[in-house]
Amino acid sequence: MAKHVFQTEVNELLHLIIHSLYSHKEIFLRELVSNASDAMDKLKYLTLTEDEFKNISFDPKIDITFNDAEDARSITIKDSGIGMNEEDLIEHLGTIARSGTKNFLGNLTGDAKKDSNLIGQFGVGFYSCFMVADQVEVITRKAGEEQAYRWVSDGKSGFELETATKAEPGTEVTLFLNDEGKEFANRWSISEILKKYSNHIAFPIYLEYEESTFDGEGDDKKEIKELKSEQVNDATAFWKRPKSELKKKDYQEFYKTFSNDYQDPALHIHTQAEGTLDYTTLFFVPEKAPNDLFYADYKPGVKLYVKRVFITDDEKELLPTYLRFVKGIIDSEDLPLNVSREILQQNRILDNIRKASVKKILKSFQSLAKKDKDYLKFYEQFGRPIKEGYYQDKDNRELLEKLVRFKSTKADGYTTLEDYVSRMQEDQKGIYYITGDNEATLRRSPLIEMYQKKDIEVLIADDEIDEIIIPGAAKYGDHDFKSVNRSNAGDELKKDGEADDDTEALEKEVKPFIKKLKKVLGDKVKDVKVSSRLTDSPSVLVADAEDPTFQMQEMMRAMGQMDMPDAKPILEVNLDHAILKKMKDMRKSKDFDNAAELLYEQALLLEGMKLENPAEFVKRLNDVLTKSL
């Protein structure tokens, strides 16, 4: 028997499950039954589509037995599914392959580790059996292979693996129950749990038990134990049942069985379409965002069935990437059973189902948006993917633009684009926004001083992807989006010719002063200009009209584009400010250079950017303070 050590992340996960889910012990049975159902889904598909599997005797069912003897309590879950070979056992029961789960585990600390709702997001529910068992034994044989294997573990340091014998393909999991699990080794507990959590499994689940009857009377009375087997679930595809028969609680319980999530879903969308296309879809939106929402190797949440035969749960094209948080089922009556992944990506039928499904989901989000508190909870979890869709999905932009929300200088919380437009001044044409990574900093930014003075609303775009999303959308209705972070921002707010003429005349008047500022700052800036937007602040940094902003440059580098050109900012100065007035009279003084550098550095700080040399900044500041005191 070969001994194996658990991967480090498995040890962490086992510890987390055992110590965090003690009040949810019964879910171990749901997880094992769900795994058995998935295994039979996969084999059913192969027996219908692959010649080498068509001769396999396939009788899909799950058999559950138990031993209630005081010193040998156990539960066995046996399925007739696809089974596992040695490689599968090591990969699925000894390793966490997805980097998203590894990263998530690594970041869990403190109270987060006590949140039982996190475990469902791992998709590794098998390990929950160690809450109730001191030892777990798996005997399994993969369909199409002759060799069976036995996997045994105490859930602590590792597992043992050896060859075994098994007459038919499938998997048999036996839990040798500990003190925490002994309460489940009886007919009534098992039956109750299965009816609660697994009634909607599409394959029959049989519970085997002994029933005592008595024959004779008096001293001749004898107990006769008879072995019986009872089907405990409906074994019908839940999503094919008429919606009129289903209650909210039914959907909630099915979702938990289907999704490995322990919370009720925030929303469900059930569609049964007949006509040109015959299909059923059932989609759920989780209460909380899955932990891999922003990982490239996220696990798709939608399963594809054809005529109730499972096809795949690993196809990211079933819904657009911005709806990757949606979980659910698509079941088509029109697709061929042997549809390949390549055909899936080009199939007209599936493309039409996909388009209709996206519209249905987005319209459901619109209905949710009528309930402000509910939609705010949804948006705090999934607002960023919705913004991605607003940028990516031009076919549904009109729906998505009603779903995006932004903070604003004139609204508490979030505002819609429609509400922003309703508050616009009569002659205002653009929708103004400021981007950065800190809401408080943006609200105090010198860049919005002119707009506040003119009582013009500015959207506070403090999500890093707003730098891409808003320019990509370009406009809302007839109104262009206009970034106040740029050098040409607000040009259209100036009265015809007036401000431009004033600024141009002023720049000519102070040309030597501006020239000296440029010389001191050198290649730190692209240009120095007299500002027409500042009222209270002495200086501000802006991006040239065609250049990427500071935030855009930082984001691109964070995404690995290290060759991103370093676009220098423009320094705008407010000549009406007391600091600039004094600087004009000290152009030939040595203190001028320090003041010029400080103008630039304080503008950097107001942009939320890091100083290149904090020590030099502090030294300059100390020099100025010393002379002023």
The confidence score (pLDDT) of residue 379 equals 96
- Let me know if domain 238-369 sits in CATH 3.40.50.970: no
| Average pLDDT of span 600-623 | 88
Residue 194 CA to residue 202 CA, distance in Å, equals 13
Domain with CATH 1.20.120.790 in the chain: 502-543+566-628
The confidence score (pLDDT) of residue 501 equals 56
- Of the two residues 627 and 400, the one the predictor is more confident about is 400
Assess whether pLDDT exceeds 80 at residue 600: yes
The confidence score (pLDDT) of residue 563 equals 63
| Average pLDDT of span 236-245 | 90
Domain with CATH 3.30.230.80 in the chain: 238-369
| Average pLDDT of span 63-73 | 93
With vertex at residue 59, the alpha carbon angle to CA 193 and CA 162, rounded to the nearest 5 degrees, is: 80
Assess whether pLDDT exceeds 80 at residue 180: yes
Q: What's the token pair of residue 93?
A: 């029961």
| Average pLDDT of span 514-523 | 92
How far is the CA of 371 from the CAs of 365, 378, 418, 555, in angstroms? 10, 11, 16, 34
- Let me know if domain 502-543+566-628 sits in CATH 1.20.120.1690: no
Of these ranges, 33-37, 199-203, 417-421, the one predicted with the greatest mean pLDDT is 417-421
Domain with CATH 3.30.565.10 in the chain: 2-231
The confidence score (pLDDT) of residue 123 equals 46
- The number of angstroms, rounded, from the C-alpha of 265 to the middle of its chain's C-alpha atoms is 14
Residues 6+ apart with CB under 8 A from 78: 62, 63, 64, 65, 170, 171, 172, 173
Contact by Cβ (8 Å): 293, 286: no
Please report which residue ranges of 347-479 form alpha helices under DSSP H.
348-369, 372-392, 397-400, 417-422, 439-443, 449-453, 466-473
The confidence score (pLDDT) of residue 332 equals 92
Beta bridge partners of 406: 415
The confidence score (pLDDT) of residue 125 equals 74
Radius of gyration of the chain (CA): 33
Look at 86-95, 174-183, 500-509 and tell me which has the smallest mean pLDDT. Answer: 500-509
Residue 403 CA to residue 406 CA, distance in Å, equals 10
pTM: predicted TM-score of the whole model, two decimal places: 0.75
The dihedral sign for the CA sequence 473, 476, 479, 484 = negative
Assess whether pLDDT exceeds 90 at residue 393: yes
Give the pLDDT confidence of 552-580 residue by residue, as tens digits.
766 666 656 656 667 888 999 999 899 99
End-to-end CA distance of the chain: 81
Assess whether pLDDT exceeds 50 at residue 436: yes
Look at 88-97, 297-306, 322-331 and tell me which has the smallest mean pLDDT. Answer: 88-97
What's the whole-number average pLDDT of the chain? 86
The confidence score (pLDDT) of residue 504 equals 64
With vertex at residue 221, the alpha carbon angle to CA 218 and CA 227, rounded to the nearest 5 degrees, is: 160
Domain formed by 2-231, architecture: 2-Layer Sandwich (3.30)
- The number of angstroms, rounded, from the C-alpha of 342 to the middle of its chain's C-alpha atoms is 26
Residue 306 CA to residue 276 CA, distance in Å, equals 16
Report helix, strand or coil for 87. Answer: helix
Q: CB burial class (10 A; 0-12, 13-18, 19+) of residue 45?
A: buried
Look at 264-268, 347-351, 589-593 and tell me which has the smallest mean pLDDT. Answer: 589-593
How many C-beta atoms lie closer than 10 Å to residue 283's C-beta? 23
Residues 6+ apart with CB under 8 A from 401: 390, 417, 473, 476
Residues 6+ apart with CB under 8 A from 278: 332, 333, 334
